Each structure stands twice: as C-alpha cells, then as structure tokens.
C-alpha cells in the first residue's frame, strides 16, 4: 500500500504525464496547420504567377517581372514556413522524449510493488 507522500508523487506524475501528452498533441496539430497553410499559400502563389504569365502573353504586356516577384515572395514565405515547421517539430520531439522518460521511470519503479 502506498503512503500519502507516494500517493501525491504518483498523482503528480499522472498530472504531468497528462499535461505533457496534451502539449504533444498541440504541437502535432500546430505542425499540420503549418503544412496546410503552406500548401494553400503555395497553390495561390503559383496560380498567381502562372496567371500573370499567361495574361502577359495574351495581352502582350511584360508582366514576367511581376510573376518572378510573386515567386520570390513564395520562396521567402517557404523559408519562414520551413523554419516554423522545424521549430515546432523540435518542440514535439523534446516533449515526446520527456513522455518516454516518464514511461521508463514508471516501468522501472512500479507503484504496485
């Protein structure tokens, strides 16, 4: 039977594990949101660049520099999105390792023994 201190310690570990897992799910959903937004932004930028290019050919207007500018903006946004995704994934991995340490500790020190 566990004494009061051990019960409090077990309750603390349980709360910490639960909160850490919620944070892990948050990072996972945040990462997916970044990728979905990136895909949408790149689709819009590519469509704009192709539209400007085709319009410039059709109307005999030189809009190629504008299309190139749109693609450069897309490149810069891509770098920012990639940095955000890498940072979020780093936080995800740190949290996952912390949860695995909890599991290891619990399996090596079972409270029922």
Q: DSSP 3-state assignment of 112?
A: coil
Write out pLDDT tens, residues 21-66: 999 999 999 999 999 999 999 999 989 888 888 888 898 888 888 8
* pTM more than 0.85: no
Distance, in Å, from the CA atom of 43 to the CA atom of 34, rounded to the nearest integer, reads: 14
What are the domain boundaries of the chain? Answer: 4-108
Residue 3 region by backbone torsions, left for phi larger than 0, else alpha for psi between -120 and 50, else beta = beta
Split at pLDDT 50, 70, 90, the class of 13 is confident
Residues with Cβ within 8 Å of residue 25, at least 6 apart in sequence:
none
């Amino acid at each position: 039977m566990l004494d009061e201190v051990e019960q409090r310690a077990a309750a603390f570990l349980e709360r910490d594990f639960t909160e850490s897992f919620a944070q892990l799910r948050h990072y996972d959903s945040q990462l997916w949101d970044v990728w979905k937004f990136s895909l949408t932004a790149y689709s819009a930028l590519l469509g704009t660049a192709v539209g400007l290019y085709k319009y410039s050919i059709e109307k005999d207007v030189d809009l190629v520099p504008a299309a190139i500018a749109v693609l450069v903006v897309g490149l810069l946004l891509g770098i920012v999105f990639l940095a955000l995704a890498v940072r979020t994934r780093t936080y995800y991995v740190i949290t996952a390792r912390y949860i695995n340490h909890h599991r290891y500790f619990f399996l090596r020190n079972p409270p029922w023994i």
